[in-house]
Structure 1
Amino acid sequence: MGTNYEKDVVAWANEQAALLRAQKFSALDIEHIAEEIESVGRSEQRDFANHLALLVANLLKWQYQCGRRSSARRRVIEELRRLLSIQLQMTPTLKNSLTDPHWETRVWADAIVQSVEEIGLALPETCPWTMQHVIDETFLPE
């Protein structure tokens, strides 16, 4: 094996790609390649969860800060929904996350952290909306 994964992951990745293209399978660092492939999936899930939590936080601010509703906040909500829609189109398996109770709990906890200080009120322990409502372009809480 050539480049050490721990010392220079970029050089290692380029080397592994070249070995794959050359079909030199016996020279591949299979374990690290598998780890990197798995990390791509985790990264997509993390990015999706972060966008979803940010959207929920903005919906909370919309609901609890009626006097601060603005076209700018609405644009942020619309943009986050657009990004989430693109992510769902590019990675359809992320849709499974929207009905996963564990996932919803994590997104809700992140949204609370992002919004509780600004809102300054006690917020519900669980999300008052389904994730399908959250991503629905027509939904805005009262």
Structure 2
Amino acid sequence: MSPISELYDQDFQVWLAETISQLEQANFQALDVHHLIEELRDLGKSEKNSLEGNLMILLAHLLKLRVQSVVPDTMKSSWYRSIIEHRERVILLLENTPSLKYYLTIAVNKAYPKGRKIAVKEGQLASFGIPIPKEEDYPLGCPFSLEEILDEDFYGLS
């Protein structure tokens, strides 16, 4: 095990700084290639996970607005704010990592069932005379197109 490889488990930030230094100096033989590959793979997964997580919340609140359209405006306003925030996060991720655009359809397909589950569970918590939607009121397949999901003026209302 090389000294830089030992740094990985002892102090990740020092390992990272040393790895960057070795790359800048083109000292490739001194690199901890195994851990570097692992970190690069995780970096890609992290961006995909972030995209899916933000889509999950965005889709949950778009669904809630669509299915629970009779709730008070005070409840709706928090959903609108969440939609604005998470849509902006998705757009920023796509701007900063354009290759994620090719993953967007997959991400929506992975995020929608989880977003639907959130919308259903939160809908069941309705109180104060607000009607509780049935689970079948929430479509099994995503009712929103990619264009609608990314449209800053779209809020899922029928």
Compute the TM-score of the two structures, normalised by the length of structure 1.
0.86
Structure 2 distance, partners of 1:37, 1:89, is 20
List per-residue Cα deviations over 1:59-116 (Å, max 9, x = no partner).
Answer: 011111112343332222122222211111111111112233xx33311122023221
- Per the alignment, residue 81 of structure 2 pairs with 75
Structure 1 distance, partners of 2:142, 2:105, is 13
Structure 2 distance, partners of 1:2, 1:21, is 18
Structure 2 distance, partners of 1:129, 1:99, is 11
- Structure number with greater Rg is 2
Structure 2 distance, partners of 1:112, 1:140, is 15
Q: Give the stretch that moved more between structures: 131-140 or 40-49.
A: 131-140
Percent identity over the alignment is 30
Structure 1 distance, partners of 2:108, 2:96, is 21
- Give the superposed CA RMSD: 1.8
Deviation at 1:130, TM superposition (A): 2.1
Q: Give the stretch that moved more between structures: 65-74 or 49-58.
A: 65-74
The amino acid across from 1:129 in the alignment is: F
Contact residue 98 and residue 132 of structure 1 kept, 8 A: no
Q: Give the stretch that moved more between structures: 28-37 or 68-77.
A: 68-77
Contact residue 88 and residue 95 of structure 1 kept, 8 A: yes
The amino acid across from 1:72 in the alignment is: S
- Per the alignment, residue 3 of structure 2 pairs with 2
SS in 1 for 2:56: helix
How many residue pairs get aligned? The number is 140
Contact residue 55 and residue 108 of structure 2 kept, 8 A: no
Counterpart of 1:131 (choices 140, 143, 146) is: 146
Structure 2 distance, partners of 1:130, 1:104, is 10
Extract unaligned runs of 5+ from structure 1: none
> How does 1:60-71 map onto structure 2 within 5 Å?
60-68=63-71, 69=73, 70-71=76-77
Extract unaligned runs of 5+ from structure 2: 125-133
- Per the alignment, residue 106 of structure 1 pairs with 110
SS in 1 for 2:95: helix
